[in-house]
Amino acid sequence: MTVASALEIVLAALVLGVAVWTIAARETFAAVAGFVAYGLLLALVWVRLDAVDVALTEAAIGGGLVGVLLLGAAARLRTTEAPVAVERPGEFLRLVAALLSATVAAALAAAVLFLPDPAPTLAPAAAANAAATGLGNPVTNVLMAFRAMDTMLEKIVLLLALVGVWSLARDRFWGGHPGPRHQADPRGMLAFLARLLAPVGIVVGIYVFWTGKDHPGGAFQGGTILAAMWLLVMMAGLTDAPPVTQRWLRMVLIAGPAFFLLVGLGGLGLGAAFLAYPAAYAKPLILAIEVAMTLTIAVTLGLLMAGAPERSAER
């Protein structure tokens, strides 16, 4: 056994151990804390799988944003935990569920063990067409050019989710500030951290976006870091989430998908196909779309985390 494979076995065992903890833990808080650790360990797994772009996304979203979202919800739902916990299904149902889950897991394990060899791959095709965009990162090439339709539709899914969250506001709070107002000691640790970390984090976020054209990184990862910095400043009480009816906010929210759609239609109008970039302008166009998308992703993720409007705009 080589050193590398020992490391991988230990890592897989750790990931599974934390996964069991998130399901078995009695307290929701403990389970969510386990899930954050799970997300970070999973990011290491992605690095071992040579997918650094995915590792960055998993660490930022799976470990970071989902953890903060669920911790906040767990704190607000703490009083409901004990009464609902007694509704645990009976032993028979649990046994059936365990059998079903074990069967699904075994079928997937068998599928993994009997994957076709040699594995089918699109990597040579991605390498052969890399020159068309002039970008060095193959994952960015796939996201922004070869499968640009997926990426554009995903932006629209994000917007739809935000519309869904906002539509849960009570009538009298419509148009107000999302979520509860966060209060923190202005001389406390959190406010200090928010002042210290946010400027650095914003630079890191922009760097991760910019380097994504040739190296691991990109609009998603950079946008998520920017969203996290915005959240940190909001949670420290240094700023408030803006009322959801503000016009500038709506403009930023649609900037990414709207510009993407416009370029896509331009490709159609110039004769090639929907979302076909003119060869000479492929790189600048992709970068321009990514700038708009990074802003939109940062604001959309931040507002998804803030939740439905809960306070009227006047206060």
Partner 1 sequence: MSAATIFGLCAAAAVGLGLYGLITNPQPLRKILAFNLLGSGVFLLFGVVARRGAAAGFGGDPVPQALVITGIVVAFSATALAVALLLRLFQASGSATLRTPASAGTDPADA
Q: Which residue has the tokens 């959801």?
A: 244
Residue 97 is a binding residue for partner 1 (CB under 8 A): yes
Say if residue 178 is preceded by a cis peptide, omega within 30 of 0: no
**Member of 30, 40, 74, 255 binding partner 1 (CB under 8 A):** 74
Task: Give me the least distance between CB of 10 and partner 1, in Å please.
Answer: 10
Which pair of tokens denotes residue 260?
């993407």
**Member of 101, 239, 245, 246 binding partner 1 (CB under 8 A):** 101
Considering only residues 274 through 303, tell me which ones interact with partner 1, judged by CB under 8 A: 297, 301
Residue 45 is a binding residue for partner 1 (CB under 8 A): yes
Residue 85 is a binding residue for partner 1 (CB under 8 A): yes
* Three-state SS at 177: strand
DSSP line for 11-66: HHHHHHHHHHHHHH-SSHHHHHHHHHHHHHHHHHHHHHTT-HHHHHHIIIIIIIIH
Residue 311, beta-bridge partner list: 177
Instruction: Tell me the CB-side half-sphere exposure of residue 48, using CA atoms within 13 A.
Output: 15
Residue 73 is a binding residue for partner 1 (CB under 8 A): yes
Residue 240 is a binding residue for partner 1 (CB under 8 A): no
Task: Give me the least distance between CB of 104 and partner 1, in Å please.
Answer: 6
**Member of 133, 141, 294, 296 binding partner 1 (CB under 8 A):** 141
Residue closest to 285 by CA, chosen among 302, 300, 299, 270: 270
Contacts 24+ apart (CB under 8 A), 57-60: 57/220, 57/221, 57/224, 60/221, 60/224, 60/225, 60/228
Residue 172 is a binding residue for partner 1 (CB under 8 A): yes
Residue 156 is a binding residue for partner 1 (CB under 8 A): no
Considering only residues 193 through 222, tell me which ones interact with partner 1, judged by CB under 8 A: 218, 220
**Member of 3, 30, 33, 115 binding partner 1 (CB under 8 A):** 115
Strands 177-178 and 309-311: antiparallel
Contacts 24+ apart (CB under 8 A), 7-10: 7/48, 8/48
By rule CB under 8 A, what count of residues binds partner 1? 99
CB-CB contact of 63 with 43 (8 Å): yes
Q: Name the residue nearer to partner 1 (CB basis): 3 or 273.
A: 3
Q: Name the residue nearer to partner 1 (CB basis): 106 or 251.
A: 106
Residue 31 is a binding residue for partner 1 (CB under 8 A): yes
- Phi and psi of 46, rounded to 5°? -65, -35
Task: Give me the least distance between CB of 195 and partner 1, in Å please.
Answer: 27
Amino acid at 206: I
**Member of 132, 142, 276, 288 binding partner 1 (CB under 8 A):** 142
Residue 171 is a binding residue for partner 1 (CB under 8 A): yes
**Member of 33, 37, 158, 231 binding partner 1 (CB under 8 A):** 158
Task: Give me the least distance between CB of 98 and partner 1, in Å please.
Answer: 6
Q: Name the residue nearer to partner 1 (CB basis): 194 or 296.
A: 296
Task: Give me the least distance between CB of 35 and partner 1, in Å please.
Answer: 6
- Contact window for partner 1 (CB under 8 A) among 126-134, 187-195, 235-243, 270-278: 126-134
What CA–CA distances, in Å, run from 138 to 40, 82, 148, 150, 238?
A: 24, 49, 13, 16, 39
